[in-house]
Amino acid sequence: MLHSLPRDRHGPEAFAESEGWQLLGAEAGTRALSDVTQLRPWLEAWLSLQCALIGDVAAATVTLDAAVGVSVSVFWPPGSRASYPVEAAASVRTRTRGMVKDEAEDGAGAATVLLAFPLMLDGQAFGGVALRLEPRSPEALRLAMRHMQWGVAWLREWQAGGRLDALRAGDSAGRALLDLLAAALEPHGLKASVRSLAIELAERFGCERVSVGIVRGNHATVLAISHSASFGKDMNLVRLIGEAMDEAIDQRALVQVPAPPGSLVASRMHEQLMRGHGAATVLTVPMPLRDGFIGAITLERSGSDAFAAEDVRLIDLLATALAPIIEEKRLNDRPLAVKAWDALLAEIGRFTGPRHALRKAFAAGAVLLLLLFTFWYGSYRATADALIEGRVQRAMTAGFDGFLREAPVRAGDQVREGDELARLDDRELVLERLRWATERQRLAFEYERALGERNRSELRLLTNQIEQADAQIQLIDAQIQRARITAPFDGLIVSGDHSQSIGAAVQRGQVLFEVIPDGGYRIVLHVDETQLGELRPGQKGELVLAALPGETFPLTLARITSVAEAAEGRNRFRVEATPDGATQELRPGMRGVAKIEVGERRVIWIWLRSAIDWMRLALWRWIP
């Protein structure tokens, strides 16, 4: 019959009134527990005290799991191995409450009671207790269960205290590890970091000397010694420390002298270091990184105290954590040329070693492309910005100072030869001509009168005045004729729009319109000076305009001028070309890009021409 008992709801008064409490007498059981320091004897004393407290116990056992750090089973009476209580102690750990079970112990039918209780802490079981009792009344059974609950509280307290001690120890070790890592990380540079680390280790662990070294080639090189700003690499001490580090690194294990019991690690170089420089204890811990070791830490004590196991564990953990830090600082401290060389060797190793198939495939493809472009010839074309201009461009100017009377056309209009482009106001000129014509008529009458009188002197004067009047009339007629501005040929007006300026004043020589003939275009190329030497008149090319990107227009170089201009930080020369074929779609002012066929060149030269020319110029500038 299986009974589920309630949790502990009884106070210390019930426990004090029990018969088991008198069994403690002069606190002999409590004193026995306080005198024992090891786990198994302490559990045996506790189990004996519980059995004496409960009374009439035939067999008992207490079992602790490996989860508490050690797996222990203790039996009562001492030396017995009662199997059934052991099984009950193991099975009750899956429960959260104690249990009472009535069983027949032997074939004769003698009844016994099995009492079991789990050991719980923070909702997790870490063991169990089971007792086989002689038959008793229900009240006595409940009292026995209550005693067991109070006794189990001691085990819970012990387990909680052990966890607290472990947490405290771990916290202390973690703080120490962080302090040591900070001492190595804070300084700038490898040597400063390892020197700070050596000093911190010497102070924290009470060492006479702490040395830190890294592997260079096949041997360890000492980089820093605590409380030593400088030291010679050929010193006997430095040599012995380096050999001790080599000894630990070669064996891939830490070496401690005097060696702990059962150690199989060789320590001959450590013993020489001890004899040569008076150290009583030497500990060397290698610093592992990936598949090897990058260095080691050697600690020396002059006193008789050996390194505690916790200290050795902490130093070993520190060496493991420090390895990538020291390696990173070592790599960063290398000169730039060494870094580049190492990177090159690493890349070569990746290409020649195993794996990295994708990288090798890309490299092989790049080499093949390089070879292909080296021996493959292509058409080399010089590129230049292009501008469409008229081949002949006539400027139509004002013939005299006056006012604009008419302007029937504007930029973009097609005109025929003789079409009126603009007319200046000529009314003042007409009046002025009329005045001079009247004056000439008057002079003519005076001339006829003087001729009748045969007055020669007056005839000569009047002749000069008549000629002057005729000249003024001719001048005014010419000005009246220039008041009408006409197109000199069939063409296109490319600039000028005075339709909104009727009546505005104009000055003599002011450009009113610009006209170009139909079909008379030229292409102005702005060629970079680095490509000018490759161009010759007569070379062919193609033009693509921004307004017509889908069409190409053939062209021929006509003239290479010596006119240069600076634009966009480059020096460019003006080259003129003529379009080949139809030019109906071309318009003055259109811009685009022209490419001139120069000849066949290697494709790799075409791509690298600019860089090669720049390098040649730079070398010429700097080479004496």
Q: What value does the mean pLDDT take over residues 44-70? A: 74
Query: What percent of the chain has pLDDT above 70?
Result: 84
- Distance (Å) of CA 12 to CA 8, 9, 151, 411: 11, 10, 12, 116
**Span 215-230, pLDDT tens digits:** 988 889 898 898 777 7
pLDDT confidence of residue 66: 55
**pLDDT at position 283 over 80:** yes
Cβ burial, residue 361 (10 Å; 0-12/13-18/19+)? exposed
Please check whether residue 569 is in contact with residue 364, taking contact to mean a CB–CB distance below 8 angstroms: no
**Span 257-274, pLDDT tens digits:** 888 887 888 888 988 888
Please check whether residue 90 is in contact with residue 75, taking contact to mean a CB–CB distance below 8 angstroms: no
pLDDT confidence of residue 486: 82
Q: What is the DSSP letter of 483?
A: T
Q: Cβ contacts of residue 149 below 8 Å, gap of 6+?
A: 7, 8, 10, 98, 117
More confident residue, 87 or 27: 87
SS3 118: strand
Among 542, 550, 545, 549, which residue's Cα sits nearest to residue 579? 542
Q: What value does the mean pLDDT take over residues 179-197? A: 81
The token pair at 581 is 């074929």
Please check whether residue 101 is in contact with residue 85, taking contact to mean a CB–CB distance below 8 angstroms: no
pLDDT confidence of residue 593: 93
Q: Find the DSSP H helices in 455-602.
A: 456-482, 529-532
CA distance 383 to 525: 9
**Span 421-432, pLDDT tens digits:** 888 888 888 888
Beta strands in 38-83 (DSSP E): 57-64, 72-76
Most confident of 68-77, 502-511, 572-581, 582-591: 572-581
**pLDDT at position 285 over 90:** yes
**How many angstroms from the chain centroid is the CA of residue 373?**
34
Among the listed ranges 14-23, 28-37, 59-68, 159-168, which one has the minimum average pLDDT value?
14-23
Residue 359 confidence class, pLDDT cut points 50, 70, 90: confident
Q: What value does the mean pLDDT take over residues 44-51? A: 80
Beta-bridge partner residues of 64: 72, 127
Q: What value does the mean pLDDT take over residues 240-263? A: 89
Residue 286 confidence class, pLDDT cut points 50, 70, 90: very high
More confident residue, 159 or 145: 145
More confident residue, 547 or 153: 547
pLDDT confidence of residue 205: 86
Beta-bridge partner residues of 602: 377
**Span 297-321, pLDDT tens digits:** 999 988 777 888 888 888 888 888 8
Residue 22 confidence class, pLDDT cut points 50, 70, 90: very low
**pLDDT at position 620 over 80:** yes
Q: Give the helix/strand (H/E) hosting 495.
A: strand 491-495
Q: Give the helix/strand (H/E) hosting 387.
A: strand 377-390
**pLDDT at position 166 over 70:** no
pLDDT confidence of residue 296: 92
- Distance (Å) of CA 543 to CA 318, 529, 560: 72, 20, 17
Please check whether residue 464 is in contact with residue 492, taking contact to mean a CB–CB distance below 8 angstroms: no
- Distance (Å) of CA 325 to CA 72, 287, 322, 329, 496: 42, 11, 5, 6, 77
Please check whether residue 220 is in contact with residue 191, taking contact to mean a CB–CB distance below 8 angstroms: no
Q: Find the DSSP H helices in 483-580.
A: 529-532
pLDDT confidence of residue 34: 58
**pLDDT at position 332 over 70:** yes
More confident residue, 13 or 268: 268
Write the single-letter amino acid at 355: R
CA distance 311 to 333: 31
pLDDT confidence of residue 319: 86
For the chain, give the number of residues. 624
CA distance 146 to 160: 21
CA distance 259 to 251: 15
pLDDT confidence of residue 386: 92
pTM flag (> 0.85): no
**pLDDT at position 558 over 80:** yes
pLDDT confidence of residue 144: 79
Q: What angle do CA 134, 139, 141 make, to 5 degrees?
A: 35
**Span 399-408, pLDDT tens digits:** 778 888 888 8
Beta-bridge partner residues of 112: 103
Mean pLDDT value across the chain: 79
**pLDDT at position 471 over 60:** yes
The token pair at 115 is 């009492």
pLDDT confidence of residue 123: 64
Contacts of residues 48-52 at CB distance under 8 Å and 24 or more positions apart, as own/partner, are 48/76, 49/24, 49/151, 50/129, 50/131, 50/147, 50/148, 50/151, 51/76, 51/131, 52/20, 52/23, 52/24
pLDDT confidence of residue 106: 47
CA distance 315 to 179: 12
Residue 379 confidence class, pLDDT cut points 50, 70, 90: confident
pLDDT confidence of residue 13: 40
Q: Find the DSSP H helices in 186-211.
A: 190-205
pLDDT confidence of residue 8: 37
Among the listed ranges 176-185, 246-255, 453-462, which one has the minimum average pLDDT value?
176-185
Q: What value does the mean pLDDT take over residues 544-561? A: 89
Among the listed ranges 64-73, 205-214, 548-557, which one has the minimum average pLDDT value?
64-73
Among 88, 28, 87, which residue's Cα sits nearest to residue 52? 28
Peptide bond into 258 cis (omega under 30): yes
Q: What angle do CA 213, 249, 323 make, to 5 degrees?
A: 55
More confident residue, 384 or 50: 384
**Span 567-600, pLDDT tens digits:** 777 888 899 998 887 777 888 888 999 999 988 8
Q: What value does the mean pLDDT take over residues 235-247? A: 89
Q: Cβ contacts of residue 54 below 8 Å, gap of 6+?
A: 20, 131, 133, 144, 147, 148
